[in-house]
Amino acid sequence: MTRKTVLITGAGSGIGRELAVEAAHRGYALILAGRTLDALKETELMAASDACECVRADVTLPEGRAALRAAANGRLDILVNNAGTLSVGALGVLEDAALERMLMTNLAAPIALSRDLLPALRVTQGRVVNIGSVFGDIAYPYFAAYSATKFGLRGFSDALRRELWGENIGVTYIAPRATKTGATGAFAALVEPMDMILDDAGTVARQAWDAIEAGKREAFPKGKESLFVRIQRVLPRLIDRSVGAQAHTPAVINALSNAGLLPKDQPESPTHEL
């Protein structure tokens, strides 16, 4: 029996690396994609796979996606759009380069790569997996642009699932909460004052693969976030009040200020009711 092949973007670190390791443990052949070949080779070593191809590719560029299409060679069982980037802070401190990088990597690239690999996925009646975030449901202050990209990715997942209805190609949206990866440093100042729970990347990967293999349409972490997502979808004003108030506590404002994540002309925290 031919083993199934999974292509994972952003496989050189963080969740992507752990997704690759877990996939190898479950018997998948791997196509690992990322911008740094050495990092991909480290993932390959950790995965200990006897069926692994590393492809240096920037998924935001047509030539990078073309390289991945060539690696799939006309047949692919699972595409995991995992590559992502994060910049945090008050909107006033986010520069154009950071906005463009998040929009291209987190949203435009998964859409384009899914389009390019649909023919290969049709051959196997495969599955598109988009790694989003709880912030794709609960829009978080100081993560505004990042949240926007993940909201977009969730919307794309729903739309693509409906577009492919009847073709037996699945679409799964995975929404982890904050995870311990190299990207954590970008928001380290906010972890304690905003009471964030950080999950282990290996745990996220195992739960993601459980959802993928079960054919789920979406998967959220166990805990309070799942409840908050349900509330957000029916009573968003309650989340406005809770998260809005939390975002303006002195501890959060001080942490942002000390980390240089507030504009110099930031007004004092509002006291009006949200």
The single-letter code of the amino acid at 61 is: L
Model pLDDT, residue 27: 97
- Cα 139 to chain centroid distance, Å, stands at 14
CA dist., res. 77 & res. 4, Å (int): 6
Looking at the predicted structure, is the pLDDT value of residue 166 above 50? Answer: yes
The domain spans of the chain are 5-258
204-251 confidence digits (pLDDT tens): 999 999 999 999 999 998 877 788 888 988 989 988 999 999 999 999
Looking at the predicted structure, is the pLDDT value of residue 29 above 50? Answer: yes
Query: What letter would DSSP give residue 73?
Result: T
Model pLDDT, residue 274: 44
CA dist., res. 205 & res. 85, Å (int): 18
If you compute the radius of gyration of the chain from its CA atoms, what whole number of angstroms results?
Answer: 19
38-88 confidence digits (pLDDT tens): 999 999 999 999 999 999 999 999 999 999 999 999 999 999 999 999 999
The single-letter code of the amino acid at 104 is: M
Model pLDDT, residue 192: 86
The single-letter code of the amino acid at 177 is: R
Reported as a pLDDT band with limits 50, 70 and 90, residue 196 is confident
CB atoms within 10 A of CB 183: 17
Q: Across the chain, what does the average pLDDT equal?
A: 93
Looking at the predicted structure, is the pLDDT value of residue 9 above 60? Answer: yes
Q: C-alpha dihedral over 80, 20, 10, 14, to 10 degrees?
A: 120
Model pLDDT, residue 269: 53
Does 255 or 271 have the greater pLDDT score?
Answer: 255
Model pLDDT, residue 101: 98
CATH topology of domain 5-258: Rossmann fold (3.40.50)
Q: Is 7 helix (H, G, I), strand (E, B) or coil?
A: strand
Model pLDDT, residue 223: 76
> Strands 170-174 and 218-219: what pairing?
parallel
Which residues are the active-site residues? 146
CA dist., res. 142 & res. 236, Å (int): 18
Reported as a pLDDT band with limits 50, 70 and 90, residue 189 is confident
Reported as a pLDDT band with limits 50, 70 and 90, residue 267 is low
Mean pLDDT over 129-135 rounds to 96
Looking at the predicted structure, is the pLDDT value of residue 197 above 90? Answer: no
pTM of the model: 0.93
Residue 92 makes CB contacts below 8 A (sequence gap 6+) with 262, 263, 265, 266
Does 189 or 35 have the greater pLDDT score?
Answer: 35
Reported as a pLDDT band with limits 50, 70 and 90, residue 273 is very low
Segment among 8-17, 99-108, 219-228 with least mean pLDDT: 219-228
> Strands 218-219 and 179-180: what pairing?
unpaired
